[in-house]
A and B are shown apart, each in its own frame.
Chain A
C-alpha cells in the first residue's frame, strides 16, 4: 500500500478526491491518535482529525513532495489541536457562567470503539499537565518516533527549543507520576484504615 502512496499524493494534488480518500483511509489512525493524545476527548479528537484531513485536502497543492507526507499531515493536526486547546481555555470562563448541561447524545460515538483502560486514562492525565506545544512535542517524539529536526519542522520552532521543551516536559511528567503515586498510596491507606475501623467489623 505504501508503494501506491506517491501516486495517490500526486493525484490528490491534481484535485482527485478519490485519491485523497485513499490517503484518509491510510492515515486515519495515526491522525486520530495524535488528536486524542493532544485533546484527551474522543469526540473532540474525531472532529479534529476530520478537520485535519479537510485542511490537508484544501492545501494539497502547497504540499512539497520532498517532505514526508505523514510529518506534514501530523503537523497540521498538531497545529489545529494546539489552537483548540487555547480556544478551550478561553471558553472556560464563559462555560463556568452557564448553569445548564447539554443532555448526553444517545447515539454511539467514537469512544465506543475505544477501550479506555487505566493506562490510557493515566496517559491522558499525564499529558494534560503539559503546555500544548510541549504536549505536541512529546506525542511526536514518543508515539511517532520523530527526530528533533522533524519536530522542529512540524511545530515551526528551532531544534534547541524542541530539546528544551522535551526536557521541561519530562520533568513535569516525572513530577506528575510521583504525585499520582502519592495520591494512590494515600487513598489506599485511607481505604485500609476504613476497613480496619470497628464500624466495619
Chain B
C-alpha cells in the first residue's frame, strides 16, 4: 500500500482530537485490512500505556537542604562580585583623579621661570628679615654681659641634661600603671 493511501488514517491515529463517527468507521475499516496501520496503532497504545504506568521519579533525600546550600553559595558569589565591581570602580576613579592631579601639576611646571622668581623673592625676604633680627639681637647682647667659652659649654650641657630628664619623665608618665588593690 502506498504512503498516500495511509495518509488520513495515520493522521487520525496520531491525533488526540475526537474523530467524527464517519471518520471512526472508515478508520476501523482500514485497520482491518492494513497491517502497517494496525502495527502503528498497537505501538501507540503501548507507548500511551507505558507513559501512564511508569511511576514519577523522586530526587535523592536532602534535595531541599542542597538547594539551600546552593542559594547561600550564590549569594556569597554575588556579594563577592559586587565587592569586585566597587573595587574596580573606585580604582578607575582614583586613577582618573590621579591623572587629573598629574595634569594640573604638569600645568604648573610649564613655566618654571615664574616659579623660580617667586622662590628667589621669598629667599631675599627671609634674608632681609634675618638682617633686621640681627639688629634686635645686637641690642640684647649689649644689655647682657658676654659669657666666656667655658660658660657656653656649661650652658649647653645643662640644656641637654634637662632635655633628657624632661623626655624620661614624660615617658614614665605616659607608661600604663599597674593598679594595686590594697586592703
List A contacts of B144 (CB < 8 A).
none
**Do B44 and A50 have beta carbons less than 8 Å apart?**
no
Judged by a CB distance under 8 angstroms, whether B132 is at the interface is no
Q: How far is the CB of A27 from chain B (nearest CB, A)?
A: 10
Residue of B nearest to A177 (CB): B43
Q: Is B114 an interface residue (CB 8 A)?
A: no
Query: Beyond A21-B68, A173-B43: 10 further Cβ-contacts under 8 Å?
Result: A32-B57, A50-B63, A54-B67, A113-B60, A114-B57, A167-B14, A173-B47, A174-B14, A174-B40, A178-B43
B59 at the interface (CB under 8 A from A): yes
By a CB distance below 8 angstroms, the chain A residues around B46 are 177
Chain A proximity mask over B63-91: 1 for CB below 8 Å, otherwise 0 = 11011101100100000000000000000
Given A119-B54, A166-B16, A171-B14, also A32-B43 (CB < 8 A): no
A113 and B14 contacting across the interface, CB-CB below 8 Å: no
Residues on A with beta carbons closer than 8 Å to the beta carbon of B52: 142
Cα of A8 to Cα of B16 in the assembled complex, Å: 37
The distance from the CB of A135 to the nearest CB of chain B, in whole angstroms, is: 12
Asked if B179 is at the interface of the complex by the 8 Å CB criterion, the answer is no
A29 to B60, CA, bound (A): 10
- CB-CB under 8 A from A173, the residues of chain B are 43-44, 47
Residues 15-45 of A at the B interface (beta carbon under 8 Å): 17, 21, 24-25, 28-30, 32-33, 36, 42, 45
